Amino acid sequence: MYDLTIIGYGPGGYEASLLALRKNLKIAIVEESKLGGNCLNRACIPTKYYWTGAKFLEKLEIFNNYGILIEKKGIDFYKAFEKKNEAIKYLRKSLRQLLKSKKVNLFKGRGKIIDKNKVLVIDKDGNEEIIETKNILIATGSKPISIGNLKLDNNYIVSTDYLLEKMDSLPSSILIVGGGVAGCELGYILKSYGVDVYIVELKDRLLPSKDTSKDISKYLIRKFKKLGIKTYLNTTVEDYEIRDSKVLVKLSNGENLEVDKILLSVGRAPNTSDIDEIGIIKDERRFIKVDEYMRTNYENIYACGDVVNSPMLAYTSSLEGKVAVKNIIGENVKIDYGYIPYAIFSAYEISYIGLNEETAKEKNIEIVSGLYSYSFNEKAVDEGETDGFIKLFFNKENKKFVGGYILGASASELIHLLEVALKEGYTAEDLHHLTYFHPSISEIIPFASYDIAEGKLF
Amino acid sequence: MYDLTIIGYGPGGYEASLLALRKNLKIAIVEESKLGGNCLNRACIPTKYYWTGAKFLEKLEIFNNYGILIEKKGIDFYKAFEKKNEAIKYLRKSLRQLLKSKKVNLFKGRGKIIDKNKVLVIDKDGNEEIIETKNILIATGSKPISIGNLKLDNNYIVSTDYLLEKMDSLPSSILIVGGGVAGCELGYILKSYGVDVYIVELKDRLLPSKDTSKDISKYLIRKFKKLGIKTYLNTTVEDYEIRDSKVLVKLSNGENLEVDKILLSVGRAPNTSDIDEIGIIKDERRFIKVDEYMRTNYENIYACGDVVNSPMLAYTSSLEGKVAVKNIIGENVKIDYGYIPYAIFSAYEISYIGLNEETAKEKNIEIVSGLYSYSFNEKAVDEGETDGFIKLFFNKENKKFVGGYILGASASELIHLLEVALKEGYTAEDLHHLTYFHPSISEIIPFASYDIAEGKLF
């Protein structure tokens, strides 16, 4: 009898296992595909790998400024694909080694809960095995969805999963349907590698989430324009056909496009079909219903990550997985997402946290803001990274920091300092008066809070 | 009559002026050389410029992993020198424009305090002008020193100032005397650009400061070895002579070297000679004595930066300058350096804060530590930045964070999160339980604190 059986070994299952092992639980892992889940194999990690390449390609343009003479000989995408796979394999191996060294039983197959204490594992050959377990954590993740008449075929119409895991050569042109995070990330990467990129987005802006400041979308679309990424807002794909190895697309605005591929990045659905025979309760969108303890309608069965209705992020999944484990060992801990830092790797490295102009208004919080450009930051000038901005929002009344965003180098790291500022209720003065190393990109923070902390300069 | 006359416009004078202008003081600036001081013109900023180039050269080796095919054609150091100058000129221009737009009088010349309310300015042609002023801030900085028989000649024996501001071609070999911060930074940069580098250090380690963990020195010297930088510890230059355009050096260990140049990086002395006729009190090393309000023995005369006996850092200078201004406007503020984050840009990007193994022992604080390698961090793997470490120290009794160091990508930015952790008295649990974006380099922090926060994995 295991203490805990984890079904699905992505970031949720992995972090849950790390904590469970520290707490000396006897655990079993069930995974039907590769260790590491979507995040490691076909989302976050390959995206940032290719994004690093895209940034390198951008950097090439300024190497000359540092006296480095080079000649560009072209792109070998297959090489990038292979080395991406190597990096991921290396990381997957470290997961495998962890399980081995802790003598954790890994069941390769599809897990199905057939009793509140029994998980049936069916491997790819149809062999069955039953795991007996005190507790279960469902962490089976999600998969990309199709929309309308666009059907994924792993050739002309592809998903982000396919593109990031399997695609070993570049199309010469691509239409990306969906200008959300994945669409904006992959659009930038593909363009950098020389692909003609078109993006269609149903809504009136890129990154159409209310937590994302409209300013971010504005800066990003301006940059896309400069890079030659063609963006269609308020637009959908009306029809398409495949002819002579090309996809002919008719857009809702009347324009016609001819591309090699269509990438669908319109969202993901939870992997909750056929995971149980015991009536675990799901909502109308098939997300598993959990309480604040990450418990399902069964006291000993928990769920985390993309299968529950919370932000579809690797790190919230990890948090949920750890909360589940804490409750399994009786610590009685409620989920608290705290302040979630967001980051997007597109033509800008983008990050944000807390409120923005729109969400502050919704909450009737009057704000004052501080803006600072990377072009005045000495470290950014040294690095040739002058194209960037930070905007910080403070409560007008008490000058407390309520949120902000960063577009530019190191944005995804710097955001954590802003997270702590939010958590600790820092005012503009508090943020301004920390000691910042000079020169550092971090100095954009004291400069963006200077006017509010010490009075205006202009 | 001015409210404040600032003598010297480096980071101390500059930040003091920014705050003084916000507080509507009528200010005058006296600067005999370039705006921006040593930091901008011949220290921090050119170092990080060249360091960016050195990192690019390192990155070239992994471009292939991202499918980017390039051929290296060589180095054109003069180009790097010119573009470095352009970057600095651009930053200097922004200082100039600030002064212009705020209609600040800039007196070009050497300032001398001839009365507690009078500064005599002598320009390079010998013209004199007297500024009448209510308050004075001395921020005249420092200059490199020579040691022993090694005399700076701006040709064979050069200072870091000369190397960073004036040197427009690379020597084929160089001996760096002094393995402190500047020596380790410039040694790495020059080696990356193809120079044969030798470093001699009197003490038994590189970066011989007790605030720098001995482990850092160990990792760094190991990396230097790998890069082919030859390091001599416990060694001095016994003698040298210049013959046939070469410097022949005899080391204290009996070895002889033949190099193109010697770089002296053995420290700096305050620029306090001939700055006043009114008996401003200096200590035996010629640092100006100030109280906690940054006041000299004259109530209306303040000093900040390298002329006072505090860490010779641009950002502590800025802090001191701002404290001086606050006291001038009657805010009665004592200097509080808080927790100073340190960063060094060498073969590793290095940062540290607070206590380390040695300083904790000195203070009789028993510590436990958490270590994590960049090689397990997914973002670092994506970026090809797996060579790095973080070590965090916690008070054994209460698990409070007391200090730590980072060697690796983004170290100089991540250190600020550790600064806030120190300031807020965070425990290992607090640090571990923040929400970290995945994948980010910042995740090395929760992983380095995991064992202490949640129990050991191994």
Query: What are the CA-CA distances from residue A311 to residues A143, A209, A314, B419 (Å)?
Result: 15, 12, 9, 30
| Confidence band of A360 (pLDDT split at 50, 70, 90) | very high
Specify the pLDDT at position A411.
98
Nearest residue to A290 (alpha-carbon basis) of A324, A248, A256, A253 = A324
Report the amino acid identity of residue A436. Y
Q: How far is A148 from chain B (nearest CA, A)?
A: 32
Q: Which of B66, B73, B444, B447 to mutate to test the interface with A (most CBs of A within 10 A)?
A: B66
Specify the pLDDT at position B321.
98
Nearest 5 degrees, angle CA A449-CA A451-CA A457? 140
Residue B318 touches chain A, beta carbons under 8 Å:
yes
| Residue A92 to residue A34: CA distance in whole angstroms | 8
Specify the pLDDT at position A88.
98
Report the amino acid identity of residue B123. D
Residue A420 touches chain B, beta carbons under 8 Å:
yes
Chain A stretch 244-303, residues whose beta carbon is closer than 8 A to a beta carbon of chain B: none
When pLDDT is averaged across residues A83-93 and rounded to a whole number, the result is 98
Specify the pLDDT at position B148.
84
Q: Which two tokens stand for residue A310?
A: 């919370």
Going by the DSSP 8-state scheme, the letter that residue B34 receives in this structure is: -
Residue A90 touches chain B, beta carbons under 8 Å:
yes
Specify the pLDDT at position A401.
98
When pLDDT is averaged across residues A257-284 and rounded to a whole number, the result is 97
Average pLDDT over chain A, rounded to whole? 97
| Residue A436 to residue B351: CA distance in whole angstroms | 12
Residue B397 touches chain A, beta carbons under 8 Å:
no
**Which chain A residues are Cβ-neighbours of B338 within 8 angstroms?**
434-435
Percent of chain B with pLDDT over 70: 100
Residue A103 touches chain B, beta carbons under 8 Å:
no
When pLDDT is averaged across residues A175-184 and rounded to a whole number, the result is 98
Beta-carbon separation of B315 and A437 below 8 A = yes
| Confidence band of A4 (pLDDT split at 50, 70, 90) | very high
| Confidence band of A437 (pLDDT split at 50, 70, 90) | very high
Beta-carbon separation of A66 and B72 below 8 A = no
**Which chain B residues are Cβ-neighbours of A335 within 8 angstroms?**
none
Residue A148 pLDDT greater than 90, yes or no: no
Specify the pLDDT at position B329.
98
Query: What are the CA-CA distances from residue A141 to residues A7, A147, A280, B428 (Å)?
Result: 10, 20, 16, 30
Specify the pLDDT at position B149.
86
**Each residue of A333-347: pLDDT tens digit?**
999 998 999 999 999
The model carries a pTM of 0.97
**Each residue of A272-298: pLDDT tens digit?**
999 999 999 999 999 999 999 999 999
Q: Is A458 exposed, middle or buried (0-12, 13-18, 19+ CB in 10 A)?
A: exposed
Q: How many CB atoms lie within 10 A of CB B258?
A: 12
**Each residue of B272-319: pLDDT tens digit?**
999 999 999 999 999 999 999 999 999 999 999 999 999 999 999 999
Q: Which residues neighbour B379 within 8 Å (Cβ) at sequence distance 6 or greater?
A: A48, B439, B440, B441, B443
**Which chain A residues are Cβ-neighbours of B18 within 8 angstroms?**
450, 457
Q: How far is A341 from chain B (nearest CA, A)?
A: 6
Specify the pLDDT at position A338.
85
Specify the pLDDT at position A438.
98
Q: How many CB atoms lie within 10 A of CB A424?
A: 16
Residue A149 pLDDT greater than 90, yes or no: no
pLDDT < 70 stretches in chain B = none
Residue A424 touches chain B, beta carbons under 8 Å:
yes
Specify the pLDDT at position B24.
97
